[in-house]
């Protein structure tokens, strides 16, 4: 467990792809139970940051601690095991499986049965499978997908597919959830629903990091915000401070997001 109680600690983290530095010298931390948003113009390195935190990409330099553990040498499944769940900018689900099956795959890290128990179909195995099913349904409840449990994930409307992805990330019961543009393609009402969902998740004790473009959502839901521009952190703090900061406004000049008012 983290000695400082911080969920994520980034210190002078840099990620370079050849000559291109996608993330430069970024330093900030995320506290427990926060909803922490990362914003910035397109191409400012936000998704790369998420890839670094979740172990998908290795940092070029700097240190990253997640839930107190140094993750620089860890691969993505190991970071996941520490207690991190994430979604992707382009919604990734297992399209040919049902929504419930998607959630059950997500519970991978919570599985305690092994190969031989599966072969012997022991009582313990059956009980565990039933338990996984139950917990998966509970998670579908949280994200509001109970009614769609038996539908193929690929056939569910787009807005709900994002929720399937969230359900999968939650299925492992992570302490930290990284959501990359969860409102992509969502309409007004769906955005409000998502905001409520985020708060529900936070209330269950999960810390959330969010990449977002919709400023209204960011303002209303975030405890703290970090702003990236060109890979560098230009500002960090509470919503009012950050969103009125002139550097931030300047970074966004020329980038008109229609739904941000």
Partner 1 sequence: MRQGSKTALTIAVALLVAVALPYVVTNDYLFHLIIMAVIWSILATSLNLVLGYTGLLSLAHGAFFGLGAYTSALLVTKCDWNFWVTIPPSMLVAAAGGILIGVLTLRLEGHYFAVSTMSFGIVVSLILEKWDDLTEGPRGISSIPAPTPIPLFGLGHLTFESDTAKYYLALAILAICLLFVWRMIHSPIGRALEAIRQNELLASCLGVDLIYYKLLAFSFSAAMAGLAGVIYSTYITYLNPVDAGLWNGFYAVMYIVIGGMGTFLGPLVGTLFLVTVPEILRVFQDYRLLLLGALLILTITFLPDGIVGGLKRLRQRRTVGAMPPR
Partner 2 sequence: MVGSIYALIAMGVAMIYGVMNVPHFALGAKAMLGGYVAFFMTAFFHQAYGLALVGSIVVLAFLGLGVERWIFRPLAKAPGINSFISAFGLLLVFENFALIAFGTAYRRILSPYDRQMIHIFGANLTMQRLLVVIIAIVLMVALHLFIKYTALGTAIRAVAQNRRGALLCGIHTERIAGITMAIGSGLAGVAGALIGPLAMVYPTMGDTLIVKAFVITILGGMGSIIGAIIGGYILGLIEALGAMYVSVDYKDAFAFAVLVLVLAVRPQGLFGKSQR
Task: Pick what 48 binds: partner 2, partner 1, none; C-beta below 5 to 8 Å, kind-dependent.
Answer: none
Piece in contact with partner 1 (CB under 8 A), picked from 11-19, 33-41, 60-68, 81-89: 81-89
DSSP sequence for the chain? --SS-EEEEEEEEEEEETTEEEEEEEEEEEETT-EEEEE-STTSSHHHHHHHHTTSS--SEEEEEETTEE-TT--HHHHHHHHEEE--SS----TTSBHHHHHHHHGGGG----HHHHHHT-HHHHHHHHHHHHHHHHHHHHHT-GGGTTSBGGGS-HHHHHHHHHHHHHHT--SEEEEESTTTT--HHHHHHHHHHHHHHHHTT-EEEEE---HHHHHHH-SEEEEEETTEEEEEE-HHHHHH-HHHHHHHTT---TT--
Residue pair 58/72 in contact by the 8 Å Cβ criterion: yes
Residue 245 interaction partner, one of partner 2, partner 1, none, beta carbon < 5-8 Å per kind: none
Question: In this complex, which beta carbon is closest to partner 2, that of residue 73 or of residue 189?
Answer: 73
Least distance to partner 2, CB of residue 22, Å: 17
Residue 48 makes contact with partner 1 by CB under 8 A: no
Which of the stretches 26-34, 66-74, 113-121, 207-215 binds partner 1 when contact is defined by CB under 8 A? 113-121
Contact 106, 169 (CB under 8 A): yes
For position 104 contacting partner 1 by CB under 8 A, the verdict is yes
* 132 interacts with partner 1 by CB under 8 A: yes
Question: From partner 2, partner 1, none, which one binds at residue 106 (CB under 5 to 8 Å depending on kind)?
Answer: partner 1
Q: Which of 17, 43, 77, 134 binds partner 1 (CB under 8 A)?
A: 77
Is 86 near partner 1 (CB under 8 A)?
Answer: yes
Q: How far is the CB of 188 from partner 2 (least distance, A)?
A: 31
**In this chain, which of 108, 133, 202, 216 binds partner 1, going by CB under 8 A?**
108
Is 140 a binder of partner 1 (CB under 8 A)?
no
* Part in contact with partner 1 (CB under 8 A); list of ranges 62-70, 80-88, 203-211, 241-249: 80-88
- Residue nearer to partner 2 on the CB measure, 17 or 124: 17
Q: Give the one entry of partner 2, partner 1, none that residue 58 binds, where binding means its C-beta sits below a cut-off of 5 to 8 angstroms depending on kind.
A: partner 2
Q: 92, 97, 100, 96: which is closest to 76 by C-alpha? A: 92
Are residues 102 and 153 in contact, defined by beta-carbon separation less than 8 angstroms?
yes
The alpha-carbon radius of gyration of the chain (Å, integer) is: 19
Is position 184 an interface residue for partner 2 (rule: CB under 8 A)? no
Given the rule CB under 8 A, which residues bind partner 1?
54, 56, 75-78, 80-81, 85-86, 88, 92-97, 101, 104-109, 111, 113, 115, 118-119, 121, 125, 129, 132, 147, 168-169, 171-172
């Amino acid at each position: 467990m983290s000695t400082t109680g911080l969920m994520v600690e980034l210190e002078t983290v840099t990620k370079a792809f050849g000559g291109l530095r996608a993330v430069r010298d970024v330093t900030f931390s995320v506290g427990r139970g926060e909803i922490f948003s990362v914003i910035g113009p397109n191409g400012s390195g936000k998704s790369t940051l998420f890839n670094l935190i979740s172990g998908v990409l290795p940092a070029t330099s700097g240190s990253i601690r997640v839930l107190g553990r140094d993750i620089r040498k860890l691969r993505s499944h190991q970071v996941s095991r520490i207690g991190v769940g994430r979604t992707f900018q382009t919604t990734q689900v297992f399209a040919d499986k049902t929504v419930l099956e998607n959630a059950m795959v997500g519970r991978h890290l919570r599985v305690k049965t092994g190969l031989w128990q599966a072969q012997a179909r022991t009582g313990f195995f059956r009980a565990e499978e039933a338990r996984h099913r139950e917990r998966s349904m509970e998670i579908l409840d949280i994200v509001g997908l109970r009614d769609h449990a038996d539908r193929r994930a690929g056939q569910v409307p787009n807005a709900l597919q994002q929720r399937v992805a969230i359900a999968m990330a939650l299925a492992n019961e992570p302490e930290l959830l990284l959501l990359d543009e969860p409102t992509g393609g969502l309409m007004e009402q769906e955005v409000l629903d998502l905001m409520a969902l985020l708060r529900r998740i936070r209330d269950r004790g999960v810390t959330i990091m969010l990449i977002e473009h919709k400023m209204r959502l960011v303002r209303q839901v975030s405890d703290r915000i970090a702003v990236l521009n060109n890979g560098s952190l230009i500002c960090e703090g509470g919503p009012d401070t950050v969103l009125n900061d002139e550097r931030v406004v300047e970074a966004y000049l020329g980038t008109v997001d229609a739904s941000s008012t």
